[in-house]
Amino acid sequence: MGRMIAPHASGAPDHTDRPARTVRKAVVPAAGLGTRFLPATKATPKEMLPVVDKPAIQYVVEEAAAAGLDDVLMVTGRHKRAIEDHFDNAFELEQALTAKGDSVRLDAVRDPARLAGIHHIRQGEPLGLGHAVLCARRHVGDQPFAVLLGDDLIDPRETLLSRMLDVRDRHAGSVVALMEVPPGQVHLYGCAAVEPTGEKDVVRVTGLVEKPSLQDAPSRYTVIGRYVLEPAVFDTLERTRPGRGGEIQLTDALQELAAGGTVHGVVFDGLRYDTGDKADYLRTVVRLACDRDDLGPEFVAWLREFVAGLEGGMATKGGTAAKGRRLTA
């Protein structure tokens, strides 16, 4: 966590060198209620909250496309129409920008719909992440597939998903992404019991527990929002009864697969952001804004001054640092 990586121009990854994959389909669950981010998420899906100038879920779809997945199924719900609109054409906007000759903004408007074949299905009721994945059964069919949580961002310069797809190609079964967290955070995640494989960043997952207490946690490796799943997970999910919080938990189904010895974990130590959490959302926006070639230099200069003001005790109401851009421009 926290290592340095080179800045990028606009945040948009380069897809010209996509690898051809045996796994082709990605499922993006985005039907949750987003209660941690109320009231912003009362009428706006949390996956549509802007991270600099793109909604969070666009980064997720870009990540899938960059890993060679050209078919993306969004699992949405009521009040999630904005997601469907964002990945569709916007005729009036495109016409207006064409008339103005504004090709840069025209591309920005068209890009989301061009990333992959985008499909949508509705989860009638938010009965849990496991249930959201089960909603994808008919679309996915009898093939392995990736799952990327719609509010969980992996930094655009990381290659975690490609690494997971490589591991799946070599070991079959399912692959989860794991991150080591401080002991005080294990109760927030699904936690894995692991055995080494001889490969530094790959472990065999022998068990999973959803949100354990520190005493019950089998390790500090927690499951983050990237999975490559074997289609057998659907039968397991059909049998999975509602667990913690009355929801059908993906972790419970994965626990059954792990007991059968078919789950591996890729240990990730790069940059990951949970945009469904307010504090992490703020960190994400600041970090990605600082890294942008077009915004970064001016924003970083302001940020330095702001932090200096905080340290000097001036960032209170009426203090210089708190007054924002007008004072420093």
- Chain positions contacting ligand UTP, by CB under 6 A: 29-37, 75, 123, 126-129, 131-132, 149-151, 276
Cβ of residue 277: shortest distance to ligand UTP, in angstroms?
8
Decide whether 149 or 154 has the Cβ nearer to ligand UTP. 149
Q: C-beta of 127: minimal distance to ligand UTP in Å?
A: 5
**Nearest distance, CB of residue 146 and ligand UTP, angstroms:** 14
> Is the Cβ of residue 75 or residue 228 nearer to ligand UTP in the bound state?
75
Distance CA 246, CA 170 (A): 36
Residue that is written with structure tokens 């069919």 in the block? 141
Q: Where are the beta strands (DSSP E) in 25-154?
A: 25-29, 50-51, 54-55, 71-76, 117-122, 145-148, 152-154
Tokens standing for 315?
């960032």
Question: Is the Cβ of residue 30 or residue 205 nearer to ligand UTP in the bound state?
Answer: 30
- In angstroms, give the least distance from the CB of 207 to ligand UTP: 21
State the Cα–Cα distance between residues 187 and 213, nearest whole angstrom.
5
Looking at the Cβ atoms of 123 and 255, the one nearer to ligand UTP is 123
Q: Nearer to ligand UTP by C-beta: 102 or 238?
A: 238
Provide the strand spans (E) within 199-329. 202-210, 221-229, 263-267, 272-274
CA distance 206 to 307: 45
Contact yes or no for 130/253 (Cβ under 8 A)? yes
- Least separation in angstroms between residue 49's CB and ligand UTP is 12
Burial class (CB in 10 A: 0-12, 13-18, 19+), 45: buried
Return the number of the residue (77 or 309) whose C-beta is nearest ligand UTP.
Answer: 77
Which of residues 203 and 229 has its CB atom nearest to ligand UTP in the complex?
Answer: 229
Q: Report the distance separating Cα 203 and Cα 217, nearest Å.
A: 17
Nearest CB to ligand UTP, comparing residues 27 and 65: 27
Residue nearest to ligand UTP (CB): 32
Q: In the chain, where do the E strands start and end?
A: 25-29, 50-51, 54-55, 71-76, 117-122, 145-148, 152-154, 174-180, 190-196, 202-210, 221-229, 263-267, 272-274
Closest approach of ligand UTP to the CB of residue 64, in Å: 14
- Least spacing, CB of residue 198 vs ligand UTP, in Å: 32
Alpha carbon of residue 269 to chain centroid: 15
Residue type, 182: P
User: What is the end-to-end Cα distance of the chain in Å, rounded?
Assistant: 33
Smallest distance, Å, CB 16 to ligand UTP? 29
Nearer to ligand UTP (CB atom), residue 131 or residue 168: 131
Query: In the complex, what is the shortest distance from the CB of residue 128 to ligand UTP, in angstroms, rounded to a whole number?
Result: 5
Structure tokens at 21: 């994959």
